């Protein structure tokens, strides 16, 4: 039974055997372990992809392992790869990259992508294994011992520096590993998900940083209804000086680091020509008008597909977009939002649940509504300034007033003046002075606009 963040409970069936890699994750960050082992959430980053490629090569040469008695009797050097063993005593399972044996002793060797930790109190330049790696190797040693092999030490090979770092499997490490195992099992069976690490250098390297959002999650958790709304920032506003946060009493814990890009390179696809048909071939969307291909768009380049009015999309295209977690939004021809289709998107369930809970708090909704409306009006004003040869001062001033009024709105149900005029003011400005060059370009993009 797992207890959720807000006291809800649910049953989770977890495999009986814990993989050595999961204990590595637990020591690295208990929250990461919870995401991967309990929630079944996984995401790749550069490091995990490189690791997977390296292990695929090792696994391609799967070896065999003589019995413990045969190895104990042999004096010659033995070497094998990609061995999987389990321990009945500790309910652990481990995959060994390489196993070396000599003089009756076996030594697991684990390949890691990065560099070793440097130095301890006695020798500051000595390469040492990182704690998660030490514990992972201790699990391998425990599994080997439980199968009758003699294992006194293990080796981590750090490929970035091409160094072999020896890890003695002594009583202290075994105790540390069994304690971690007990704590990991307790966490998995009772929950809730642990808090994020605070200002940790581990987070930028974590493959789940885009799902966990450590700083944002902490920042949202501290949100105070009585606090004033954040000051709106503008396009060319450099923001407060770096030490301003300290001057205002904001601690380093309060700051949200930019751990994931503010905006990825993907762009939304807007289709507004009536009668278009969207199909797909491979990972490419084929946009046709009366059986004539008008545009091809790679799904990997798109973050969202927006269909305005009578535009058809094939089931195959919907399935592929869902698989790639690209949402499809449906609008009327005039831009009225109808609904959205997206895949399972089982990412940060806790964040999603809290978002629904916050949606029940009127003051939070008001603050969000103010920010959304003000942001929309500000965007229109920016577009007008960028695209107009000579932006009409009256329209700009009017939009500015509306933006400021919406930031001070006393109710989240917008009064009628805020619902349409910004669009009308914007359109009026664009309609009279659009440059011929942009008009031609817009005409070319009429069928499929990839902004």
Q: Which of 256, 293, 263 is nearest to 278 (CA)?
A: 293
**24 binds ligand SF4, rule: CB under 6 A:** no
**208 binds ligand SF4, rule: CB under 6 A:** yes
**180 binds ligand SF4, rule: CB under 6 A:** no
25-44: which residues touch ligand SF4 (CB under 6 A)? 29, 31-32
Q: Which residue lies nearer to ligand SF4 by CB, 48 or 232?
A: 48
Residues 299, 312 contacting (CB under 8 angstroms): no
Annotate each residue in 328-347 with x if it binds ligand SF4 (CB under 6 A) or - if it does not, as one string: --------------------
Q: Which residue lies nearer to ligand SF4 by CB, 42 or 234?
A: 42
Tokens of 382: 């920016």
| Residues near 79 by beta carbon (within 8 Å), at least 6 away in sequence | 98, 99, 100, 101
- Least separation in angstroms between residue 194's CB and ligand SF4 is 8
- Least separation in angstroms between residue 23's CB and ligand SF4 is 15
Please tell me the total number of residues recorded for the chain in this structure: 451
**108 binds ligand SF4, rule: CB under 6 A:** no
Burial of 23 (0-12, 13-18, 19+ CB in 10 A): buried
Figure out which of the listed residues 151, 156, 209, 305 binds ligand SF4, where binding follows CB under 6 A.
Answer: 209
- Least separation in angstroms between residue 39's CB and ligand SF4 is 11
**98 binds ligand SF4, rule: CB under 6 A:** no
Q: Which residue lies nearer to ligand SF4 by CB, 132 or 214?
A: 214
What is the SS3 assignment for the chain? CEECCCCCEECCCCCCCEEHHHHHHHHHCHHHHHHHHHCCCCCCCHHHHHHHHHHHHHHCCCCCCCCHHHHHHCCCCEEEEEEEEEECCCCEEEEEEEEEEECCEEEEEEEECCCCEECCCCCCCCEECCHHHHHHHHHHHHHHHHCCCECCEEEEEECCCCEEEEEECCHHHHHHHHHHHHHHHHHHHHCCCCCCCCCCCCHHHCCCHHHHCHHHHHHHHCCCCCCCCCCCCCCCCCCCCCCHHHHCCCCHHHCCCCCCCCCCCCEEEEECCCCEEEEEECCEEEEEECCEEEEEEEHHHEEEEEEECCCEECHHHHHHHHHCCCCEEEECCCCCEEEEECCCCCCCHHHHHHHHHHCCCHHHHHHHHHHHHHHHHHHHHHHHHHHECCCCHHHHHHHHHHHHHHHCCCCCCCCHHHCCHHHHHHHHHHHHHECHHHHHHHHHCCCEEEC
- Least separation in angstroms between residue 41's CB and ligand SF4 is 10
Q: Which residue lies nearer to ligand SF4 by CB, 107 or 196?
A: 196
Figure out which of the listed residues 173, 203, 313, 425 binds ligand SF4, where binding follows CB under 6 A.
Answer: 203
Figure out which of the listed residues 212, 269, 384, 399 binds ligand SF4, where binding follows CB under 6 A.
Answer: 212
Q: Pick the piece of the chain touching ligand SF4 (CB under 6 A) from 62-70, 88-96, 202-210, 341-349.
A: 202-210
- Least separation in angstroms between residue 355's CB and ligand SF4 is 18
Q: Pick the piece of the chain touching ligand SF4 (CB under 6 A) from 183-191, 204-212, 286-294, 366-374.
A: 204-212
345/333 Cα distance (integer angstroms): 28
Q: Which residue lies nearer to ligand SF4 by CB, 57 or 202?
A: 202
- Least separation in angstroms between residue 204's CB and ligand SF4 is 8
Figure out which of the listed residues 6, 57, 202, 255 binds ligand SF4, where binding follows CB under 6 A.
Answer: 202
Q: Pick the piece of the chain touching ligand SF4 (CB under 6 A) from 180-188, 208-216, 227-235, 330-338.
A: 208-216
Q: Which residue lies nearer to ligand SF4 by CB, 143 or 193?
A: 193
Q: Pick the piece of the chain touching ligand SF4 (CB under 6 A) from 175-183, 203-211, 272-280, 344-352.
A: 203-211
Q: Which residue lies nearer to ligand SF4 by CB, 90 or 353?
A: 353
Q: Which residue lies nearer to ligand SF4 by CB, 238 or 261?
A: 261
**206 binds ligand SF4, rule: CB under 6 A:** yes
**188 binds ligand SF4, rule: CB under 6 A:** no
Give the interface with ligand SF4 as residue ranges (CB under 6 A): 29, 31-32, 196-197, 200, 202-203, 206, 208-209, 212, 214
């Amino acid at each position: 039974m797992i207890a959720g963040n807000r006291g809800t409970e649910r049953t989770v069936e977890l495999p009986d055997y814990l993989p050595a890699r999961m204990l590595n994750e637990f020591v690295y960050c208990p929250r990461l372990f919870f995401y991967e082992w309990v929630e079944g959430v996984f995401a790749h980053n550069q490091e995990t992809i490189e690791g997977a490629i390296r292990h695929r090569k090792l696994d391609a040469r799967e070896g065999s392992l003589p019995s413990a008695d045969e190895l104990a009797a042999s004096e010659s050097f033995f070497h094998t790869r990609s061995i999987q063993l389990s321990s009945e005593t500790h309910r652990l399972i481990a995959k060994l990259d390489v196993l070396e044996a000599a003089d009756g002793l076996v030594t697991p060797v684990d390949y890691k992508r990065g560099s070793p930790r440097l130095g301890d109190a006695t020798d500051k330049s000595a390469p040492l294994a990182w704690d998660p790696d030490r514990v992972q190797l201790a699990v391998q040693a425990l599994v080997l011992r439980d199968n009758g092999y003699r294992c006194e030490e293990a080796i981590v090979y750090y490929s970035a520096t091409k160094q072999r770092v020896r890890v003695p499997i002594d009583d202290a490490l075994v105790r540390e590993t069994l304690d971690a195992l007990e704590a990991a099992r307790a966490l998995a069976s009772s929950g809730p998900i642990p808090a994020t690490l605070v200002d940790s250098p581990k987070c930028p390297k974590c493959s789940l940083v885009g799902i966990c959002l450590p700083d944002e999650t902490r920042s949202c958790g501290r949100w105070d209804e009585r606090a004033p709304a954040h000051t709106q920032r503008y396009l060319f506003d450099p923001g407060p000086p770096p030490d301003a946060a300290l001057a205002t009493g904001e601690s380093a814990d309060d700051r949200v680091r930019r751990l994931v890009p503010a905006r990825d390179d993907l762009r939304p696809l807007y289709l507004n020509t009536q009668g278009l048909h969207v199909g797909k071939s491979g990972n490419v969307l084929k946009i046709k008008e009366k059986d004539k291909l008008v545009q091809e768009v790679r799904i990997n380049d798109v973050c969202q597909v927006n269909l305005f009015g009578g535009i058809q999309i094939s089931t195959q295209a919907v399935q592929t977009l869902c698989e790639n977690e690209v949402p499809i939004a449906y609008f009327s021809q005039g831009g009225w939002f109808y609904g959205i289709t997206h895949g399972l998107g089982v990412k940060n369930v806790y964040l999603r649940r809290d978002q629904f809970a916050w949606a029940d708090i009127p003051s939070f909704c008001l603050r969000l509504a103010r920010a959304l409306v003000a942001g929309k009006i500000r965007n229109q004003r920016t577009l007008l300034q960028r695209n107009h040869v000579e932006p009409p001062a009256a329209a700009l001033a009017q939009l500015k007033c509306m933006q400021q009024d919406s930031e001070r709105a006393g109710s989240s149900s917008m009064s009628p003046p805020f619902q349409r005029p910004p669009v009308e003011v914007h359109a009026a400005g664009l309609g009279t002075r659009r440059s011929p060059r942009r008009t031609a370009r817009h005409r070319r993009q009429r069928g499929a606009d990839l902004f």
